[in-house]
Structure 1
């Protein structure tokens, strides 16, 4: 039995969305896809999903690795909205530390120089389609470095749930909430685990005070296996069809 046909899998999600409706609440669904560098069949598949479900994708592109084929492909994929994903996607953390390209131990002057160089290259490659949103590799950037971003021209920042700006602020922050990949095995996570986690996160959002709470999916199209793609098909089909869910556009989420 295919994932799409396994109706029992989705019953907890349907029940949670009904609770949103009963409470008169609406959740804004959006998604971000990281590590784009070139045209590929997987990028085509992502674009097709985005088009079919009317859900634009914030596409985080690695500036210093991006290839001309990506620019050519994106001209035919208007629902994939490119933004900057770090610089080289290199780990600068010390041995044993969590991977990060923009950790606290790096000098602000070095960070600023790299960001400007990478932003210029990406703008030259992608032109006006490039959004002024920054996505740090591994969802990590020291808050002091995040505070530099507005001066460089970034109006948005996206990490993963739990990340917060520091006392010096930064651009508009919109985090993703649900990562569909199991990075230890580098495969799609079990669908039952993802549905359970999505329901827990949605329940917590429903208990908050934000009338237009957003729920972001985190994708990596280059690494998806069939389990990941099948989950996306089933999840998007059910979420986008429910009246308690609004399709989110990254340009509006970041106030662009």
Structure 2
């Protein structure tokens, strides 16, 4: 690991430690459907650092063999990733499986059906966290998720709780992939700078966030993405300001069983 490349992040974590603050780091990985060498590699990374991963599984595309694979990888914690990962928005609009124009009845029925399939496939140890594809879900649909059995909703950085309410938010903040530049892992210097800038902002704000979610997509990772994950976990695991956090512990008490 290049000390100079990572020094801005290390120095900022040092400032957190000096200030008596702790950063809770957690991982979410999207789009799981089947066992694969990439899934095994994700589990191996999790095992090396004893770091749980919230594994967002597409229910209606998930293969039966996934159940056996997850029994071998107890640090991969399954949850529901939409239903079909199917875009319902018109051409030119941002993709969403659960946009505002879909009827509440259709959305609720589809989510409930997908949840039952995931329960049948993997059992009742699935975490009650809903991850919408593309990190998007209409506020009205999100507000009904608790009635469908979900205590958590995980999107991306700027998602806020809507006036209608909804599940507890568990946002991710840093995406290791460059989707527009060729579906490749992002440059390490860019990721380090983005992470450091975010932590500087949080440290300077009253009542600022202290929980950082890293967004992964094991099916799309190249060596750049895998290397960043391992180097970040190595740095964070050795730093007294960082606490590796189980996604279960991000839910309200009593809601993860």
Q: Which TM bucket (shorter chain)?
A: over 0.9
2:209 is equivalent to residue 205 of structure 1: no
Count of residues in correspondence between the two structures: 252
The one-character-per-residue Cα deviations of 1:54-106 (angstroms, maximum 9, x if unpaired) are: 21000000000000121110001110000000000000111110000001111
Partners of 2:23 and 2:210 within 8 A in 1: yes
2:167 is equivalent to residue 179 of structure 1: no
- Write the distance in 2 (CA, Å) between the matches of 1:239 and 1:212: 17
- Write the distance in 1 (CA, Å) between the matches of 2:6 and 2:69: 34
SS where residue 39 of structure 1 aligns?
coil
Partners of 2:82 and 2:132 within 8 A in 1: yes
Gaps of 5+ in 2: none
- Write the distance in 2 (CA, Å) between the matches of 1:209 and 1:74: 40
Gaps of 5+ in 1: none
2:247 is equivalent to residue 250 of structure 1: yes
- Displaced runs of 4 or more, over 4 A: none
Partners of 1:26 and 1:212 within 8 A in 2: no
- Write the distance in 2 (CA, Å) between the matches of 1:124 and 1:208: 45
Partners of 1:28 and 1:212 within 8 A in 2: no
For residues 110-121 of structure 1, the aligned pairs below 5 Å read: 110-121=106-117
Q: 113, 130, 136: which one pairs with 2:132?
A: 136
- Write the distance in 1 (CA, Å) between the matches of 2:197 and 2:43: 28
Q: 87, 92, 103: which one pairs with 1:96?
A: 92
* CA shift in 2, pair 1:201/1:234, >3 Å: same
SS where residue 34 of structure 1 aligns?
strand
Deviation at 1:165, TM superposition (A): 2.2
Question: TM-score with structure 2 length normalisation?
Answer: 0.96
Deviation at 1:210, TM superposition (A): 4.2
Q: 20, 26, 33: which one pairs with 1:30?
A: 26
Match of 1:18 in 2: 14
Partners of 1:29 and 1:246 within 8 A in 2: yes
